[in-house]
Structure 1
Amino acid sequence: MPDKYYLRIAFASDLKKTSERLLYRFLEMLPGIITWTTLLGAILLSYLKPILISIFIIIFVIYWLSKTIYFSFHLRVSYQKMKQNIEIDWLGKLNKLGTPSNGLPIHHWNEIYHLIVLPMYKEPYEVVRESIKSLLRTDYPKDKMIVILAQEERAGNDFNNELSKKIGQEFKNSFYQFFITVHPKDLPGEIAAKSSNETWAAKKAKELISVLNIPFEKVIFSSFDIDTVVSADYFGCLTHHYLTTPKPLRTSFQPIPLFLNNVWQAPGISRVFSFSSSFWHLINQQRPEKLITFSSHSMPFKALVDVGFKQTDVVSDDSRIFWQCLLFYDGDYRAEPLNCSISMDANAAETLRRTIVHMYKQQRRWAYGAGEIPYFIFGFLKNKKISLKRKIALAFEAIEGHWNWACAPILIFALGWLPIYLGGSEFTQTIFSYNLPKILGRILTISMLGLIMSMYYTFYLLPPKPNTKKQKLNILWACVQWILVPFTMIFFTAFPAIDAQTRLLLGKYMGFWPTPKHRKVQSVKQKA
């Protein structure tokens, strides 16, 4: 058995030893066990021990308030850094850099190639074209870009042929290398997922790069969702980070995903949801010790090759590749924030009902990242070279994060009032019964300051609404829609997370669900 056999685990059933299989299965169940124990315990104790649960709820809401203040501070700092980075001439900084001093076998920045893989499945031509056009609008030399559009055989020959013909004719001579791959369906050891398609394309790229005799250390790999629109300075910023970070071959690079491409075409509830997600990723940029890769990201191509590429049988491949590298390099791996934005699609479908369904499914797929907890904890138990301190910090952050994801909205907005209704006549006559609503109300009122800050940054991040003269009124209306937050937190944050964790708890594993893209034809413009 290989020393690091645990690097390729997807399910408990992949393990041969019964003891290891049972341990991994327990770790799969752990997020769901913690969540359901919390929720059912809160209901039961509201009846049996109303004073005890009232104290717990008050402590929890105060804890949540402190996190709101903490996150608001990080949001402000991150936004300011992002604005400052926009003003930087990254190519100018690269020209002044000279030979990197971080050990890379490079004398000048223009030796760096960028490999960009765009996996897709039935996305509209307009979405695909806009993403590739955004690569052309960047200021990085196009003769240093290798771009792969990765199609799926399961999308159908008619669809693939029509799209590849149009895209190929327009962009075939736009980059150093541009080609289209088609990932065969139903290959052994794979599930129908983005990771399978991307890995197929990345392996084809490895063959090409080897033929071109380009050292892997000189290639930065970018895994982009097909709706990713990069800013003009993205690759300059990324290259500068790669050449100046102390350990470039042990570092992934995470931009800030802002879900703004079609934000004015999305209904209000989806708009609020997309901004909530954008703000969360802005906040995470200021917590580099806790940062892991998400969605569109970049990394050393050599690291991708070293770990054997992304797993082809997992749903959350964007975060899994970070944990793969961390375990492969014995803890000597990290994600570095770029403080540079990319733009992606908000959820928008042909009808409001379909949009709501898509929002739920997308959030459930993201929440299914709880399935990474058994993977890396099992790896931590097997890999003795990673420091105990880092193991505990990363495990606590992941478990606490997924617990909050599922439980916090319900504890704050729903279960917090249960002791008053279930506590019985004895409890209703106590000072706790009288003060609980007042205390919760005041704390939640103070927490609304976080909403005010969210409205403030909504105003500055929103791009102009196309074909309208009432810009200020439209932006004001978008800010007012933040009153939907309590509703979205319960139905599009907590419920999908509980759903995902319950599936893991019961062993009902999810497949990969690609979010359908619906966007009217228009050029995507970024604002910061």
Structure 2
Amino acid sequence: MTRLFELLPGALSWGTLLGLLFLSWKLPVAVAVFIVLYDLHWFLKTVYLFFHLRFSFARTREFLKIDWLAKLMVLPYRDREPRRWDEVFHLVVLPMCREPYEVARGTFKSLANQHYPLDKLLVVLATEERGGEVDAAVAARIKEEFGQVFGGLLTTVHPDGISGELKGKGANETWAVKRALEELIDRRAIPHTHVLVSVFDIDTRPGRDYFGVLTYHFLSELHGDHASYQPIPLFTNNIHNVPIFARLIAFVATFWQFMQQSRHEQLVTFSGHSIPLEPLVEVGFWNTDIVSEDSRIFFQCLTHYGGDWRTVPLFYPIYMDAVSGSTTAEALKNLYKQQRRWAWGIENIPFVFSQFVRDKTLPLRRKFFWAFLLTEGFHSWATSSFIIFLFGWLPNFLGGDAFRHSVLSTNLPGVTGFLINLSVVGIVTFAFVSIFLTPPLPTGEPLKFRHYVYYLLQWFLIPITFIFWSAVPALEAQTRMMLGGRFKLGFWVTPKAKDAVS
């Protein structure tokens, strides 16, 4: 059964693309009508998503102005544990492997500058044995500089070559949390119900009030112990020093997370996120043999608790690096690999679908909801850019003389072009929003007029970006899942280069 579910995403995507190719030859009229309706569907969807983006963006700007620590201090006591905000501890896990010291130090400085009692932060720098002397040296310097700053600072070394494990973040995070349980939590008799676990990539710098926002939502939610908590990732730490295509993908990923925040019923954990310790222990921590541990933990909890699990949007940013490289060619290659790794989230489909088949307690409505959402999402990722930007011409090329001389053939390019141009209006709107998210130049100077013009015009490269650095890697990931065996992807660590090119 699992193998069948592994074949499903790729079979649907390839079936759609090859089917449209074949039908453009055999049934060009039907394909032409389909493409017009498909383009119209995406135009309307773009408008719909823009309103979600606008709402989330406004909410985030509002949240950035709030003194969350002050709100916590006047929060009424709860009738269950933890009763008060100052009883909550935060276990912060930072996995790394051969990362530069400057990157790790930047993250620790952001933690040290939190507008929150630092004695409530228990920080774990989770290194890898295969990181060798590089990881050991970074850990030693971090321990020396920040050892007395937080309520606890632990450095762990995840052993290499443990049977059944994949070399990736999930295995390292699980190892690190188990060590932290022994040395930072159980040794101090801290109740598990009082601990929130936040997992961040080593380049992630949470906003100054992140732990205040997180604590407030955890205590205010009706069933806060049965929820994950998702901030908004802004890939802007090095946004001025990456190639144009990497910059576009970074903003698109951020915009998608903005949109999902206001569609919280669809929100799944992504990259940096937080989760209560008690359910994390109950579900067996993160899977140690997969790539997409960040999203998988949501589905582990969803299926373990019979559907009684959700992701709470925080409408608050964490700041991360966009994909970079020491040369433009290397940066674009890294961007492709990153998108392919993100698209490897399709490995959740066989897991989730197999669980749904076996689990008779999960409501059928919830099963259909998530089955459709996962299938449609990955299918659109791999196919929509091809259909919108390339396949509109197929009926005219393959449909034969009878179709080419028809009224529909004559008007097809104009109609599809008109719909795509309407979508450009939405793209321009996104471009203006991206300006508000763009930080000052690395020198500290504000953006100049030429920067605004450049950063607005770059959005007209969206068709190329979506095809080659989104759809193609997604289709490759699904193809690899179909082939299985040695074609399956392992975990690829995104390089963190401070000498990135622009």
- What is the TM-score when the length of structure 1 is the normalising length? 0.93
For residues 161 and 504 of structure 1, what CA distance do their matches in structure 2 show? Answer: 35
1:194 aligns with 2:166: no
1:423 aligns with 2:399: yes
1:93 aligns with 2:87: no
Aligned residue for 1:180?
Answer: 155
Opposite residue 64 of structure 1, the aligned amino acid is W
Kindly state the Cα deviation for residue 469 of structure 1 after the two structures are TM-superposed. Answer: 6.2
1:250 aligns with 2:226: yes
Opposite residue 182 of structure 1, the aligned amino acid is V
1:515 aligns with 2:494: yes
Residue aligned with 2:142, SS: helix
Kindly state the Cα deviation for residue 470 of structure 1 after the two structures are TM-superposed. Answer: 5.4
1:318 aligns with 2:297: no
For residues 430 and 477 of structure 2, what CA distance do their matches in structure 1 show? Answer: 27
Is contact 1:459-1:476 (8 Å) kept? no
Is contact 2:95-2:127 (8 Å) kept? yes
Aligned residue for 1:81?
Answer: 59
Kindly state the Cα deviation for residue 475 of structure 1 after the two structures are TM-superposed. Answer: 2.8
Is contact 1:74-1:283 (8 Å) kept? yes
Deviations 1:259-296 (A, max 9, x none): 00000111222111111111111111011111110000
For residues 455 and 324 of structure 1, what CA distance do their matches in structure 2 show? Answer: 36
Kindly state the Cα deviation for residue 211 of structure 1 after the two structures are TM-superposed. Answer: 1.3
1:440 aligns with 2:450: no
Residue aligned with 2:178, SS: helix
Kindly state the Cα deviation for residue 452 of structure 1 after the two structures are TM-superposed. Answer: 1.1
1:228 aligns with 2:170: no
Aligned residue for 1:41?
Answer: 19
Kindly state the Cα deviation for residue 88 of structure 1 after the two structures are TM-superposed. Answer: 1.1
Kindly state the Cα deviation for residue 98 of structure 1 after the two structures are TM-superposed. Answer: 2.3
The 5 Å alignment of 1:360-371 reads 360-371=336-347
Aligned residue for 1:525?
Answer: none
Opposite residue 159 of structure 2, the aligned amino acid is P
Kindly state the Cα deviation for residue 197 of structure 1 after the two structures are TM-superposed. Answer: 0.6
The 5 Å alignment of 1:198-347 reads 198-208=173-183, 209-347=185-323
For residues 99 and 431 of structure 1, what CA distance do their matches in structure 2 show? Answer: 71
Kindly state the Cα deviation for residue 31 of structure 1 after the two structures are TM-superposed. Answer: 0.3
Residue aligned with 1:332, SS: coil
For residues 299 and 272 of structure 1, what CA distance do their matches in structure 2 show? Answer: 30
Opposite residue 455 of structure 2, the aligned amino acid is A
The total of aligned residue pairs comes to 496
Kindly state the Cα deviation for residue 242 of structure 1 after the two structures are TM-superposed. Answer: 0.2
For residues 107 and 73 of structure 1, what CA distance do their matches in structure 2 show? Answer: 37
The 5 Å alignment of 1:379-398 reads 379-398=355-374
Aligned residue for 1:526?
Answer: none
Greater mean deviation of Cα atoms: 385-394 or 334-343? 385-394
Opposite residue 73 of structure 2, the aligned amino acid is N
- What is the TM-score when the length of structure 2 is the normalising length? 0.97
The 5 Å alignment of 1:165-176 reads 165-176=140-151
Is contact 1:140-1:235 (8 Å) kept? yes
Superposition misfits of 4+ residues, deviation over 2 angstroms: 466-473
Aligned residue for 2:475?
Answer: 498
Aligned residue for 2:37?
Answer: 59
Is contact 2:91-2:122 (8 Å) kept? yes
For residues 429 and 282 of structure 1, what CA distance do their matches in structure 2 show? Answer: 46
Deviations 1:369-415 (A, max 9, x none): 01101111111111111111111111111110101100000001111
Greater mean deviation of Cα atoms: 204-213 or 483-492? 204-213
Deviations 1:499-518 (A, max 9, x none): 00000011121100010011
Aligned residue for 1:134?
Answer: 110
Aligned residue for 2:120?
Answer: 144
Q: What is the RMSD of the two structures over their aligned residues, measured on CA atoms?
A: 1.1
Residue aligned with 1:97, SS: coil
Residue aligned with 2:312, SS: strand
Residue aligned with 1:264, SS: helix
